[in-house]
Amino acid sequence: MLRVSTRTVYETGTTQLSSLQAQIARTQQQLSTNRRILSPSDDPIASARALEVTQSQSINTQYATNRQNARTSLSQVELALQGTTSLIQDVQTLAVNAGNGSLTQADRESIATELEGRLQDLLGLANTSDGAGSYLFSGFKSTTQPFTLTATGAQYHGDQGQRELQVGSSRKVPISDSGSSVFESNPTGNGYFETAPNAGNAARGGSGIISSGTVADATLLTGHNYAINFAVANGSTTYTVTDTTTGLPVTAAPVAFQEGQQITFDGLAFDIKGQPADGDQFTIAPSQRQSVFTTLTNLLGALRTPATGAAGVAQLTNSLKSASDNLNNSLDNVLSVRASIGSRLKEMDYLDSTGDDLNIQYASTLSQLQDLDTVAAISEFSQQQFTLEAAQKSFKTLTGLSLFNFIG
Amino acid sequence: MAASILSIGKSGLYAAQLGLATTGHNIANANVPGYSRQLVIQSSAPAQDLGFGFLGSGTEVAQIQRYSDEFLNAQVRTAQASKSSLDSFEAQISQVDDLMSDTASGLSPALQDFFKGVQDVASNPASSASRQALLSTADSLAARFQAMNGRLQEVRDGVNTEITTSVTLINSYAGQIADLNDKIAGFSDRLNSSPNDLLDQRDQLVAELNKLVKATVVAGDKNSVTVSIGKGYPLVVGKKAFELAATRSPTDLTRVEIGYQTSDRITVLAEDALSGGQLGGLLQFRSETLDRVQNSLGRIAIGLAYQFNAQHRLGQDNNGELGGEFFKQADAYVGASINNSTASTAAISAVVADPNALSQSDYSLNFDGTNYVLTRQSDKHQTIITTPQSGPQRVDGIDITVAGAAVTGDAFVIRPTIQGASQFAVTLSDRNKIAAAAPITTSAPLSNTGSGTIDAGAVNSAYVGNQLAAPITLSFDAATNSFSGFPPAATIVVTNSAGTSTTYPAGTAQVPFTAGAKVSFAGIDIKLDGQPENGDSFTIAPNAAGVGDNRNMRLLGDLQTKNVLDNGSATFQGAYAEMTSYVGNKTREVQVNAKAAASLYEQASNSQQSVSGVNLDEEAANLLRYQQAYQAAGKVMQIASTLFDALLSIGAR
């Protein structure tokens, strides 16, 4: 039989009581903080995992903030481009009106005055700022005013930079478009080539009006410049076509001109109406990029040039046709930028919903890792309380037992 | 005859008195730590030969026995040493564990806020408010690093103080044990009687010493004991006590170590020499956990400072200049031993060159006469630093340079990351100097007719010191399908989408075009794609007035999720999580071991107490026993007296 010393009874008793008390205090602390893990040693793996999930969650939240920022920027750009769209449409209407044959020069002057106002409006739209002093359309040079008017259109002072934001773990979206890509990169003519009369045609009295033309066979396109030279002799009008890039004639011999008949060569097709004069020339050049400001300025110039006689009307008609083509192209370009912004905004909505899903997932993972099972903890607490009370009671009884109580 | 009975009674009376006194001594000392119960051992007195038989002559006290079992005592000491060691380890490590416990006060929220600040500037690069906010979050991050490190430093200071106090106590115990050895030796010639209470006192002193540092006891001559500590270092031999001293480490004056004090010199003991006991636990905590944790934290700080600075230098600030240093990156600590030969002129320098390869360990560097041997403390892996050096030798991401002439036995310590967190600071203070933009822009003129495109471009570390002064225009020649216009001094590397690169030497006039290939030259990387037409050109220019450019800020933001530590296996947060997990696991391990040690100690102590401890019920029974013996002996004497009276009354008749 093992002897038990009196000291052992007391020491063991107090050690056990204090350990029970420590346990119940811990459960109480868990309950009062609603945390399962009070320090990393409680569950080292879950603690480390929780830190990683916290970062993922924080980054996910940051992406949501970035999307909000991106959405704000894109909406501002979209608003400005919405204005630009209706402005170009207005100008198109004006250009059509200006072509009305019954208008006098004074009428056209008044249209020109209105157009001047539109030009200023367009400048204002192109120089829109975000309210915090940053211009929307100046690329990276956000504090530089992107456009200033010049005699021939407008000068672009920004750069071609496109700002991007990280809106998802593997997705960056552009949140700006440079003024150069929105207002300046509009193809001229029909998008493939541009037809134009020689500036001297009107003075020679020629009333030829050249159409914008179409591509008859894309495989035959050369991208060269051409000149169509007219000659009027003995009442018959003939023309020759020369490839001015190579200097070689396209037509072997002068061709008899028939008004309105389609002229086709090297995959190009167009017609010329009216009566070209002797020596008149029309040129065909590959499409270039033209600023919408230049288009408007050119249109203004055309409206302000007095159109007298058949030759003058033909010159105006040619100019209006070219302006109308270019305006169409500008509108197409603005609309395509808007479409791209729309799809970016839509993508952001999609990313938002996946981001929200992820957030819920992270929150639930974190909760599983860190949070307390309250029911289990309360039950454990009651059990520990019961044990502690039993230990206290039995300790009191045990230490009260002594032979000295019975002797003497 | 009656006289004999009287003397027998007297001997019984005397023995019972001694029994009562000893029982009283037991009761009185029941709560004295280290007291061993005593018992009077009686034996019968020599008998008288009366011819027809032997007549007893009463009792005598043979000895006062002390109940103590050296085997059990040794078991208790072993259990006690390991329990104290683990208890003190646990007390220390729980401070570190608590430091990591609060999700609101750890490094993680500050780190996340900082990168939020970076993202905010990426969203609004031109906004002064966002830029200022980034500087503020950077300051809080630095403050958090400092605060965490400060707390670890406090723990370290606490360890130093406790080591010093423990050494003082150990010396005091050693002196007292030596004194007792001397006193006890004085009684060693006595047979059958030992100075019980002195032995108890000595055992108790050894037990107290053993709580501080594991003590091993070997019995010596003349009842003395030889006490050795730790891994067998003698502390008390007979009446001689050796003196320990707390001293500064020869290679690091902020580190308290323990050594033997001999007349004028202190011989420092290795950190693992003194295992077991409170001191052993402290030393083990310091070298296994505290150093590791402080190094881990320092490594995160150094990695962050290095990577962030490297990317920041590739950006362009609001003044149009390349970014400068954003954070201060801590220096590696190099300490030369104060015991190095005075003839030594060796100078060691260590610079963190690749934080990705850094370990979390300290290193010692020793000169063995021919070579410098670098030992990684965590796994004792050795690397020879070859001399003479043509340049720094890189080991675990540290560039080590040795200069001068060393003398055999010279010792150095290199602690690459220990100061990482304490020296981490924000050096950039002007918000306009935050390099949010990339230093180059690219553009394609409107006159281009082809579908060729150029991407926004990026710069790499070769760009620093090689900045573009004027725009470069690359022109496409359709006949040769190549670009010209590259800077004449630049080597051009074209890497196609399959990853195959072709190098064109500097001065190559026509560089063949491959759609989608990355073209690198003079620190600039661009990607040309699509199909350009003859005469099309692309321009790469310095980024003038690009205050709305956020490209570099986005790259800085990407660092948050890049694996740039631990050989490309951990992000900053990941490394912090690893550190938390290490502390948590270690704490848990220590807690479990401490619990096991406590129950082992309890068992050993109960066994020992079952031999040596006083049981008051038993003593109460003994009181009754000796009281009855006393009363019975008295009765014997009374009867002897009555007999004598009877004799006397016969004579009176």
From residue A407, alpha-carbon distances to A47, B285, B434, B581 in Å are 60, 54, 90, 61
Q: Which of residues 288-307 of A touch B (CB under 8 A)?
A: 288-289
Question: pLDDT band for position B140 (50/70/90)?
Answer: very high
Question: pLDDT band for position A352 (50/70/90)?
Answer: very high
pLDDT value of residue A408: 67
Of A121 and A223, the one with more pLDDT: A121
pLDDT value of residue B250: 85
Q: How far apart (Å, rounded) are the C-alpha atoms in residues B591 and B585?
A: 10
Q: How far apart (Å, rounded) are the C-alpha atoms in residues A13 and A33?
A: 30
Give the 3-state secondary structure of residue A41. helix
Query: What are the extents of the domains in chain A?
Result: 53-188+326-359, 193-287
Report whether A232 contacts A274 (CB < 8 A): no
Structure tokens at B500: 């195959």
pLDDT value of residue B338: 85
Across the interface, of B573, B580, B605, the residue whose CB is closest to A47 is B580
Residue A182 DSSP class: I
pLDDT value of residue B386: 85
First to last CA, chain A: 28
Query: What are the extents of the domains in chain B?
Result: 2-67+613-652, 73-287+570-604, 440-542
Asked if the Cβ–Cβ distance from A5 to B581 is below 8 Å, we say no
Tell me how many residue pairs between chain A and chain B have CB atoms under 8 A apart: 215
Structure tokens at A395: 């300790």
Query: Is the confidence at residue B1, as pLDDT, over 70?
Result: no
Contacts of B129 in chain A (CB under 8 A): none
pLDDT value of residue B499: 87
Q: How far apart (Å, rounded) are the C-alpha atoms in residues B449 and A149?
A: 25
Q: How far apart (Å, rounded) are the C-alpha atoms in residues B339 and B201?
A: 41
Contacts of B591 in chain A (CB under 8 A): 41
CB of B618 less than 8 A from some CB of A:
yes
ipTM of the complex: 0.84
CB of B545 less than 8 A from some CB of A:
yes
Query: Is the confidence at residue B290, as pLDDT, over 70?
Result: yes
Contacts of B111 in chain A (CB under 8 A): 55
From residue B479, alpha-carbon distances to A285, B483, B512, B534 in Å are 22, 11, 11, 8
The residue of chain A nearest to residue B437, with distances taken between CA atoms, is A140
Q: How far apart (Å, rounded) are the C-alpha atoms in residues B412 and B405?
A: 14
Question: pLDDT band for position A320 (50/70/90)?
Answer: very high
Residue B320 DSSP class: S
Across the interface, of A12, A66, A142, the residue whose CB is closest to B119 is A66
Q: How far apart (Å, rounded) are the C-alpha atoms in residues B377 and B20?
A: 63
What is the Cα B290 distance to its own chain's centre?
3
Query: Is the confidence at residue B101, as pLDDT, over 80?
Result: no
Question: pLDDT band for position A1 (50/70/90)?
Answer: low
Mean per-residue pLDDT, A135-164:
91
CB of B123 less than 8 A from some CB of A:
yes
Percent of chain B with pLDDT over 90: 66
The pLDDT tens digits for A357-408 are 999 999 999 999 888 999 999 999 999 999 999 999 999 999 888 888 888 6
Q: Which CATH fold would you assign to the domain A53-188+326-359? A: f41 fragment of flagellin, N-terminal domain (1.20.1330)
CB of B469 less than 8 A from some CB of A:
no
Nearest one of A19, A22, A1, A16 to A399, comparing CA atoms? A16
Find tokens 């380890």 and name the residue: B89
Sheet holding B256-262, edge to edge: B244-248, B256-262, B265-268
Structure tokens at A365: 């993972």
Question: pLDDT band for position A132 (50/70/90)?
Answer: confident
Query: Is the confidence at residue B357, as pLDDT, over 90?
Result: yes
Find tokens 């490594």 and name the residue: B299
pLDDT value of residue A306: 87
Contacts of A286 in chain B (CB under 8 A): 449
Question: pLDDT band for position B363 (50/70/90)?
Answer: very high
CB of B596 less than 8 A from some CB of A:
no
CB of B3 less than 8 A from some CB of A:
no
Contacts of B120 in chain A (CB under 8 A): 65
Q: Which of residues 183-242 of A touch B (CB under 8 A)?
A: 184-185, 223
Report whether A171 contacts A67 (CB < 8 A): no
Contacts of A2 in chain B (CB under 8 A): 606, 610
Q: How far apart (Å, rounded) are the C-alpha atoms in residues A134 and A384?
A: 65
The pLDDT tens digits for B10-46 are 999 999 999 999 999 999 999 899 899 999 999 999 9
Structure tokens at B146: 């400092």
d(CA A199, nearest CA chain B) in Å: 23
Query: Is the confidence at residue B435, as pLDDT, over 80?
Result: yes
pLDDT value of residue A321: 92
Query: Is the confidence at residue B653, as pLDDT, over 70?
Result: no
Question: pLDDT band for position A123 (50/70/90)?
Answer: very high
Question: pLDDT band for position A113 (50/70/90)?
Answer: very high
Question: pLDDT band for position B370 (50/70/90)?
Answer: confident
CB of A18 less than 8 A from some CB of B:
no
The pLDDT tens digits for B573-613 are 999 999 999 999 999 999 999 999 999 999 999 999 999 99
Mean per-residue pLDDT, A115-123:
94
Structure tokens at A76: 């501002």
Instruction: Indicate the pTM of the whole model.
Output: 0.87
Q: Where does residue B190 rank: exposed (0-12), middle (13-18), buried (19+ CB within 10 A)?
A: exposed
Query: Is the confidence at residue A250, as pLDDT, over 90?
Result: no
Torsion of CA B560, B562, B565, B566, to 10 degrees: 140
Single-letter code of the amino acid located at B43: S
Q: How far apart (Å, rounded) are the C-alpha atoms in residues B588 and B581?
A: 10
Structure tokens at A20: 């029970």
Report whether B386 contacts B392 (CB < 8 A): no
How crowded is residue A252: how many other Cβ atoms within 10 Å of its Cβ? 7
Q: How far apart (Å, rounded) are the C-alpha atoms in residues B577 and A20?
A: 32
Query: Is the confidence at residue B2, as pLDDT, over 80?
Result: no
Q: How far apart (Å, rounded) are the C-alpha atoms in residues B176 and B238?
A: 12
Exposure string of A20-33, with b = 16+ CB inside 10 Å and e = fewer, is beebbeebeebeee
Rg over alpha carbons for chain A, rounded to the nearest Å, is 42
Q: Which of B322-326, B340-344, B562-566 has the lowest mean pLDDT?
A: B340-344
Q: If you average pLDDT over every residue of chain B, what do you get?
A: 91
Mean per-residue pLDDT, B77-90:
95
pLDDT value of residue B564: 92
Query: Is the confidence at residue B364, as pLDDT, over 70?
Result: yes
Overall residue count recorded for chain B in this entry: 653
Contacts of A44 in chain B (CB under 8 A): 580-585, 587-588
Q: If you average pLDDT over every residue of chain A, what do you get?
A: 91
Residue A121 phi/psi, 5-degree rounding, is: -60, -45
CB of A26 less than 8 A from some CB of B:
no
Nearest one of B107, B134, B106 to B120, comparing CA atoms? B134
Nearest one of B344, B390, B401, B393 to B367, comparing CA atoms? B344
Looking at mean pLDDT, say which of A75-79, A221-225, A256-260, B48-52 comes out highest: A75-79
pLDDT value of residue B14: 94
The pLDDT tens digits for A202-228 are 888 888 999 998 998 888 888 889 999
Query: Is the confidence at residue B253, as pLDDT, over 90?
Result: no
Query: Is the confidence at residue A194, as pLDDT, over 70?
Result: yes
List B375's β-bridge partners, or say none: B364, B382
Report whether A157 contacts A145 (CB < 8 A): yes
Query: Is the confidence at residue A133, as pLDDT, over 90?
Result: no
pLDDT value of residue B351: 93
Residue B448 phi/psi, 5-degree rounding, is: -60, 140
